[in-house]
Amino acid sequence: MQNIPKADLNEFLSGNSRRKAAFVKKIGTAFQEIGFLALKGHFLEDKLQDALYKQIHSFFKLSNKVKSSYEIKRGGGQRGYTGFGKEHAAGRSVGDLKEFWHFGQNVQSKPFLKNIYPENIIVKELESFNKIGNLVFLKLEKTAKIILQALALYLKLDQQYFDEFIDGGNSILRAIHYPPIKEAPKGAERAAAHGDINLITLLIGAQGSGLQVLNHQNQWIDAIANPDELMINIGDMLSRLTNDLLPSTIHRVVNPPKETWGSSRYSLPFFMHPIPHMPLNCLPQTLGKNNLKKYEDILAGEFLFQRLVALGLIKK
């Protein structure tokens, strides 16, 4: 497969059973064959998307001293700011060429989550930063919920199977800044090859090329969404739950050609996580004589902790 498959969420929401079934088959097949999909018809309006890009541009232009004041010690990078080069791909020691910000669940509007997740960090210098980030979070969370309902049907589960596990899930909206490259990187990339930790990832159309996907023929192919599309991929949690029926596809963000080193790149992925006590045990219908169980039973919270250690964000 050389191209990223495309689908329109309106087909699933149409009320027409034939169109809905066709959508389920299309996205299930796409995720099974390559793990990536370009989706239009989602709930994130262009105006709101543009507003968030303006806010994150303004944030990353703040001084390093100001940005660093929003970095939470021993927080595992789960809220607020994470400085340049501090995250690396699992199995690597060289940090990625990026800095980023994390929005999580708004525990102020969901009091039942206050004892489960940390509060979001408020940026005092930018009046609308948190408000807009929280709105985008909710729009992408709503979209991800519908995609998981469609995937539940593809897996021959009840359509609402995932709902109880993602309501108030430990999801994160990440605003990434890949700064201009000032000298030849020594083994570092903007984002080294990796698989995502979570159930599914929704990527708002990245500003600039660079995202590549490793297909089943072991070839790197470009993954560029149109302005009205979200790029969606399967994460390790869903791959584990489905015993690799829906594989977590390896992807990366490559360094740009030298003549464009002076330009920044921005990216906005939404990582849909379940609640920490969701079991990631392989679904029975994904097991068989020719597909033996590949993973030990584990809870989502335990798995997340293990991966944050592997990424260098938590020190054991």
The DSSP result for 199-261, as a single string, is SEEEEEEEESS-EEEE-TTS-EEE----TT-EEEEE-HHHHHHTTTSS----EEEPPPPGGGT
Report the domain count for the chain.
1
Over residues 262-299, the pLDDT tens digits come to: 888 898 999 999 999 999 999 999 998 888 999 999 99
**End-to-end Cα, the chain, rounded Å:** 40
Task: Determine the Cα–Cα distance for residues 19 and 152; give it in Å rounded to an integer.
Answer: 16
Asked if residue 315 belongs to a domain, the reply is no
Q: What percent of the chain has pLDDT over 90?
A: 63
Asked if residue 28 belongs to a domain, the reply is yes
Asked if residue 31 belongs to a domain, the reply is yes
Query: Rounded mean pLDDT of 208-212?
Result: 77
Q: What is the pLDDT of residue 93?
A: 64
Q: Which residues pair with 38 in a beta bridge?
A: 6, 231
Confidence of residue 261 (pLDDT cuts 50, 70, 90): confident
Domain that holds residue 205: 6-310
Asked if residue 286 belongs to a domain, the reply is yes
Q: What is the pLDDT of residue 150?
A: 98
Task: Determine the Cα–Cα distance for residues 71 and 104; give it in Å rounded to an integer.
Answer: 15
Task: Determine the Cα–Cα distance for residues 173 and 162; give it in Å rounded to an integer.
Answer: 19
Q: What is the pLDDT of residue 225?
A: 81
pLDDT of 95 higher than 60: yes
Asked if residue 73 belongs to a domain, the reply is yes
Query: Rounded mean pLDDT of 27-38?
Result: 92
Q: What is the pLDDT of residue 112?
A: 85
CATH number for position 243: 2.60.120.330
> Contact, 314 vs 78, CB < 8 A?
no
Asked if residue 1 belongs to a domain, the reply is no
Give the pTM.
Answer: 0.91
Q: What is the pLDDT of residue 311?
A: 77
Run of H or E including 307: helix 300-310
Asked if residue 91 belongs to a domain, the reply is yes
Asked if residue 316 belongs to a domain, the reply is no
